[in-house]
């Protein structure tokens, strides 16, 4: 299958649902908190297995996040499960004050992020969530790339006992994580070695970056590929090594190009080892269209990633 094709592959919400149930079986402190999103967050099985531990506040995101803080105060370990645009946009001050500044161990799960709800329009796109969450205190910001990494990040989050935000993808993706990869905050994963240029991607874009590296290899360009699932904090050592050892960095994210992964990498390398960069993502509101259509629209395809990388090398 072409890695640009998101009609097949895995919906990370299923892995999320399976892992949440598994975690809840082992740990009575785990509760799910949602905003009338039992279906869209894939919580039907969780509700059946743990009816008392599903807290559905209805369509009220500010209350949802505040309630999660209170549940954590009372000894529980909440996973807040809600469509990412509403979790982050509507309840941003609750995330800041009640979760991060108050320092409660709550896992904020932004479901169906990016342009997963492409046809529903910009109100339902969550392309600002990385910029918003990355600005808040020491909130961990995590974008898993596939089902295995989603599960590993969830296990890490329970053990970490700290506020974190993670995107849970709805757009189907192929498996990209090497077996046994796991998840550690502040660690990126080198998926492909390369000496000429570095592609740094997250979430749905990781498979496309790998595909782009194949295409570049056909053109004689050796591209390094890094999965930067830990958007905050970044893996500074791995990224600075890439800045030193290759001739440029292209970042690719399903988010606005202001304040997300590309900005984070630029903040790092511009201050410690300046290197030419291209930041690929979304600029402005996206039009209506399926996620696949919008990826094409914004040039978030393997062929265009390869082209931008080759252009960067040619002009520097």
Partner 1 sequence: MHMHMQLTPDEAARAAAPLAADATAIAQWRRRREEIAGAAGAHRVELLRAASTHIRRQVLATINAAGLGHVGGDLSVTDILVTLFDALLNIDPARPSWAQRDRFILSKGHCAAALYSVLAASGFFAAERLAHFAAPLSPLNGHPNRRKIPGVETNTGPLGHGLPVGVGCATAAQIGGQPWRTYVVLGDGELQEGSNWEAAMYAAQRGLGGLTAIVDRNRLQQGATTADTNELEPLADKWRAFGWETHEVDGHSHAELLAVLAALPGERPRAVIANTVKGKGVSFMENGVEWHHKVPSTAQLAAAMKELAT
Binding residues for partner 1 (CB under 8 A): 31, 52-53, 55, 57-58, 60, 62-63, 65-76, 93-94, 97-98, 101-104
Q: Give the pair of three-digit tokens for residue 141.
A: 């910001």
The nearer residue to partner 1, 107 or 255, going by C-beta atoms, is 107
Output the smallest distance, CB 135 to partner 1, in A.
16
The nearer residue to partner 1, 66 or 276, going by C-beta atoms, is 66
Output the smallest distance, CB 60 to partner 1, in A.
4
Cα separation, 6 vs 123, whole angstroms: 22
Residue 296 is inside which H or E element, if any?
A: helix 291-297
For the chain, the residue count is 316
The nearer residue to partner 1, 99 or 242, going by C-beta atoms, is 99
Output the smallest distance, CB 101 to partner 1, in A.
5
Output the smallest distance, CB 138 to partner 1, in A.
12
User: CA of 86: how far to CAs of 3, 202, 286, in Å?
Assistant: 29, 21, 17
Output the smallest distance, CB 106 to partner 1, in A.
10
The nearer residue to partner 1, 62 or 303, going by C-beta atoms, is 62
Answer for the pair 35, 86: CB distance below 8 angstroms, yes or no.
Answer: yes
Output the smallest distance, CB 98 to partner 1, in A.
6
Output the smallest distance, CB 238 to partner 1, in A.
31
Cα separation, 141 vs 143, whole angstroms: 7
Q: Give the pair of three-digit tokens for residue 116.
A: 């997963």
Output the smallest distance, CB 27 to partner 1, in A.
13
- The partner residues of 278 in beta bridges, in order of sequence, read 250
The nearer residue to partner 1, 24 or 257, going by C-beta atoms, is 24
Answer for the pair 78, 56: CB distance below 8 angstroms, yes or no.
Answer: no
Cα separation, 250 vs 93, whole angstroms: 32
The nearer residue to partner 1, 104 or 132, going by C-beta atoms, is 104
The nearer residue to partner 1, 75 or 180, going by C-beta atoms, is 75
User: CA of 28: how far to CAs of 24, 77, 219, in Å?
Assistant: 6, 9, 54
The nearer residue to partner 1, 69 or 199, going by C-beta atoms, is 69
Output the smallest distance, CB 76 to partner 1, in A.
6
The nearer residue to partner 1, 31 or 164, going by C-beta atoms, is 31
Q: In a 3-state reduction of DSSP, which class is residue 126?
A: strand
Answer for the pair 120, 147: CB distance below 8 angstroms, yes or no.
Answer: no
Residue 81 is inside which H or E element, if any?
A: strand 77-83
- State the DSSP string of 200-237: EE-TTHHHHHHHHHHHHHHTT--EEEEE--EEES--HH
Cα separation, 140 vs 157, whole angstroms: 9
């Amino acid at each position: 299958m072409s890695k640009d094709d998101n009609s097949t592959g895995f919906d990370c919400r299923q892995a999320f649902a399976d892992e949440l149930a598994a975690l809840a079986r082992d740990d009575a402190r785990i509760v799910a908190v949602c905003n009338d999103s039992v279906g869209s967050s894939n919580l039907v099985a969780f509700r059946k297995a743990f009816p008392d531990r599903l807290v559905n506040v209805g369509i009220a995101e500010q209350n949802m996040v505040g309630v999660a803080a209170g549940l954590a105060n009372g000894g529980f370990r909440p996973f807040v499960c809600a469509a990412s645009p509403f979790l982050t946009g509507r309840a941003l001050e609750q995330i800041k004050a009640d979760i991060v500044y108050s320092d409660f161990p709550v896992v904020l799960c932004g479901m169906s992020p990016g342009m997963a709800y492409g046809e529903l329009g910009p109100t339902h796109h969550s392309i600002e969530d990385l910029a918003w969450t990355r600005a808040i205190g020491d909130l961990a910001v995590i974008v898993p790339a596939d089902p295995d990494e989603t599960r590993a990040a969830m296990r890490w989050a329970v053990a970490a006992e700290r506020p974190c935000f993670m995107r849970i993808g709805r757009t189907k993706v192929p498996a990209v994580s090497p077996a046994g990869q796991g998840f550690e905050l502040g660690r990126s994963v080198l998926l492909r070695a390369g000496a000429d240029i570095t592609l740094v991607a997250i979430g749905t874009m990781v498979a496309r970056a790998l595909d782009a590296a194949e295409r570049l290899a056909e053109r004689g360009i050796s591209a390094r590929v890094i999965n930067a699932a830990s958007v905050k904090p970044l893996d500074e050592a791995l990224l600075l090594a890439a800045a030193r050892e290759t001739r440029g960095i292209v970042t690719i994210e399903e988010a606005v190009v202001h304040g997300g992964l590309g900005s984070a990498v630029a903040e790092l390398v511009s201050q410690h080892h300046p290197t030419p960069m291209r930041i690929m993502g979304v600029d402005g509101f996206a039009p209506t269209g399926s996620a696949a259509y919008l990826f094409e629209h914004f040039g978030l395809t393997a062929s265009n990633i390869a082209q931008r990388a080759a252009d960067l090398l040619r002009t520097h």
